Amino acid sequence: MSKLVPAVRSGDVLIPALGFGTWQLENGTARPLVEQALAAGYRHIDTAQIYRNERDVGAAIAASGIKRDEIFLTTKVWVDHFADGDLQRSAERSLEKLGVDHVDLLLLHWPKPAVPLAETLAALNEVRDRGLTRAIGLSNFPSAVMAAAQAVSKAPLATNQIEYHPYLSQKTLIAAAAATEAGTSITAWSPLAQGKVAQDPVLIRIGEAHGKTPGQVTLRWLIQQGVIAIPRTRTPARIVENFDILDFDLSEAEMAAIFALARPDGRIGNWLDDAFQWDAD
């Protein structure tokens, strides 16, 4: 784990607060970018079965020369594999593609009503019991479904990975996660609102005061909340830029100004099944 990056304790694992996301990095593009991220200092890499790049991510980790136990590796089970038996087999396939004997965190990618939650969580716990993952968790689960999942899970749910950036308030879900017995963490995907933060006057102004970009300010805002951020970029220079957020602090007034950017139409990705409902704010 990089000594520079703070870690968030979630359940029984420590998760580096800044990671490199690999969504949409297909057709061989993930490997060189993950290699560059690791060279820049990242020690938390996030992928998923549906990203179709687990082999590339695993190849980058193997080529890096960094010890496996120094890298926190996350992948996610796609919704088509939530049934008992199928979930375990899909986890085994992910490990084969990644070229590792375990991941550090295995997440359910989205809630799916077609398979009983208790069945899915029992299968996920079995994968953890077998040592195929150090920890388990969720992705894109509203607070009510998150609570239902924890109620039927033997092991703590280490994180809930959700869309979170300055334009989308997630205060209800963040509070609900923190209130769980294990202190479930929040991991933010699309933390830079898919580039929208770059032109924001408030973030530009705060960045100028610190000699930082709007993106760096946004990532710092997340980490100062105790939220884990996994920005994804295709630009090598931006990989380094996103990592350079550990040498400044935002004031309470600056944090408040960024929180105030949230708006009702701030959500970018909405693939939640109609059977579930997002938290109001």
List residues with catalytic annotation. 51
Distances (CA, A) of 191 to 59, 249, 256: 26, 18, 17
Handedness of CA 163, 169, 173, 175 (dihedral sign): positive
Integer Cα distance of 243 and 239 in angstroms: 7
195 touches 155 (CB < 8 A) = no
**Helical spans, DSSP H, in the chain:** 30-40, 54-64, 86-98, 117-129, 143-151, 171-178, 201-210, 214-224, 236-243, 252-259
CA 188, 11, 246 angle in degrees (round to 5)?
Answer: 45
Phi first, then psi: give them for residue 159, nearest 5 degrees: -150, 165
By the 8 A CB rule, do 212 and 247 touch?
no
Whole-number Å distance between alpha carbons of 13 and 129: 15
Terminal Cα-to-Cα distance of the chain (whole angstroms): 33
